[in-house]
Amino acid sequence: MPQTTLSSFAVVVAATAVAPLITDRVKHWVAIPSVVLEILLGILIGPQVLGWAGEDDVMGFIADFGLAMLMFLAGYELKIDEVRGKPMRLAVVGWLISLALGLGFGALVHGWAFSSLIIGLALTTTALGTTLPMVRDAGLLPTPLGARVLAVGAAGEFGPIIAVALVVNDQNPARTVLFLLAFAVVAARLLWAAANRRSGRISRLVRTTLGTSVQFAVRLCMVVVVFMLWLAGSLGLDLLLGAFVAGLVVRLFLDAGDPEEGAVVESKIEAIGFGLLIPFFFVVSGMRYDLDALLATPSAIALLPLFLVLFLVIRGLPVLGLHHRDLPVRPRWTLALLASAALPLVVVITTIGTEAGLLPTSTASAMVGAGMLSVLIFPLIALRLVRTEAPDPRAPELP
């Protein structure tokens, strides 16, 4: 490994450890998500400020695999039995409304061009993988509200990925549809196999190697992740689609076995993702952030708060309206604000747009900057709303 790569790797890993230290130090004054500090530290150590770390092929690959792990864990947290029915129906309808609003805004600004499509899709995303740790730490996941957060987040992650595969990454939609169908067939077969009873040999290996150097269950999960990434890439689809489906497969596989074993394997997978790969991705995302393009363009600086408001209007308001019969006011605003937080897919979609020459770098920087602010501001307000709501013992359980 080149010394420059090793030096950059060391600085980035150090930044991933510094971020939670800063978060802990300032938590008495302001609760800053670690992911936001990771991005800010990436900007600081990157080539546009201090120049302590740079990106090459090795660093880029590790960061991209970290993004895949983020989407994998988002898919893993999605328990299909808990979100099927009305929560998922409302989530899909809400995303389709957001898609119409986003495309309408993009067309209003840029006309009916690919640049408007990029902007519209980026405005419909939800940072489920980013906000999920905060929602889980707040104890919301086992609640009915948590199920709706998962459903809305899954629609905001999965919908844009499919749309990108269909209309952005490929100029032949018919071929892409065929590849998507082929991918769906393989994914359905894996989901079916994972949900059914394991063979005796697989169960024995999972059980007997949990505390050994073999770690068969973890290796098997990593095989599923890498295989689904390879399959999606081979079919010309976005790799994040493969990562998300891999999370669903692993969830079903672990749920089919002993719950205690599943909890141990889950903790090990989360250690791989949240311990290194995912924070690595966010730090490198900060290094990639084109701060110069933002600061050099006054119009881009003005766009940043506009995009922040648009995330809330285009993604949050449809959610707020669709759940008015099922949720009290504060939980409904909590759900809408969490739905409006957007970052990882904003980075992915705007990167596709800038690399294809469809989106100005300054506009992309404004959108990513707004995404960072959305992840910082919206979840803090959302979780404070739900924490400060006094429970009503007479209130019925949320549907």
Residue 388: pLDDT band with limits 50, 70, 90: low
Is 398 contained in some domain? no
Structural domain includes residue 56: yes
Query: In the chain, how many domains are there?
Result: 1
Task: Please give the Cα distance from 131 to 160 (Å, whole number).
Answer: 17
Q: Residue 62 has what pLDDT?
A: 93
Length of the chain: 399
The whole model's pTM is what? 0.81
- 381 is a domain residue: yes
Inform me whether the pLDDT recorded for 346 exceeds 90: no
Tokens (6 digits) for 162: 């499919």
Is the per-residue pLDDT at 173 higher than 80? Answer: no
Within a domain: 209: yes
Q: How far apart are CA 191 and CA 265, in angstroms?
A: 18
Mean pLDDT for the stretch of residues 209-219: 88
Per-residue pLDDT band at 364 (split at 50, 70, 90): confident
CATH number at residue 27: 1.20.1530.20
Looking at the chain, the number of H-run helices and the number of E-run strands are: 20, 0
Exposure string for 283-293, b = 16+ CB within 10 A, e = fewer: bbbbbbbbeeb
CA distance 399 to 389: 18
State whether residue 228 is helix, strand or coil: helix
Percent of the chain residues past pLDDT 90, beyond the cut: 26
How many CB atoms neighbour CB 209 within 10 A? Answer: 15
Asked whether the predicted pLDDT for residue 391 surpasses 60, the reply is no
SS3 assignment, position 272: helix
Under the banding of pLDDT at 50, 70 and 90, the label for residue 257 is: confident
At residue 174 the predicted structure's pLDDT band, cuts being 50, 70 and 90, is: confident
- The answer to whether residue 395 scores a pLDDT higher than 50 is no
Residue 395 lies in a domain: no
In the DSSP assignment, the letter for residue 51 is -
DSSP for 234-249 reads HTT--HHHHHHHHHHH
Largest CA distance in the chain: 65
* Contact assessment for residue 303 and residue 355, using Cβ atoms and an 8 Å cutoff: no
Mean pLDDT of 310-322: 93
* Domain span holding position 271: 3-386
Task: Name every residue whose Cβ is closer than 8 Å to that of residue 349 and which is 6 or more positions away in sequence.
Answer: 118, 121, 122, 125, 160, 164, 168
Higher pLDDT, 269 or 118: 269
Torsion (CA) 316, 358, 347, 125 in degrees, nearest 10: 20
Residue 19 lies in a domain: yes
Decide: helix, strand or coil at residue 168: coil
Q: Which of 11-15, 66-70, 343-347 has the lowest mean pLDDT?
A: 343-347
Mean pLDDT of the chain: 84
pLDDT in tens, 38-62: 888 999 999 988 999 988 889 999 9
CA distance 342 to 315: 9
In the predicted structure, residue 319 carries a pLDDT above the cut 70: yes
Structural domain contains residue 343: yes
Range 301-319 average pLDDT: 92
Please check whether residue 271 lies inside any domain of the structure. yes
85-134: per-residue pLDDT in tens? 888 899 999 999 999 998 888 778 766 667 778 888 889 998 887 787 77
Q: Using the CB atoms, write b or e for 49-84: b if 16+ within 10 Å.
A: eeebbebeeebeebbbbbbbbbbbbbbbbbbeebbe
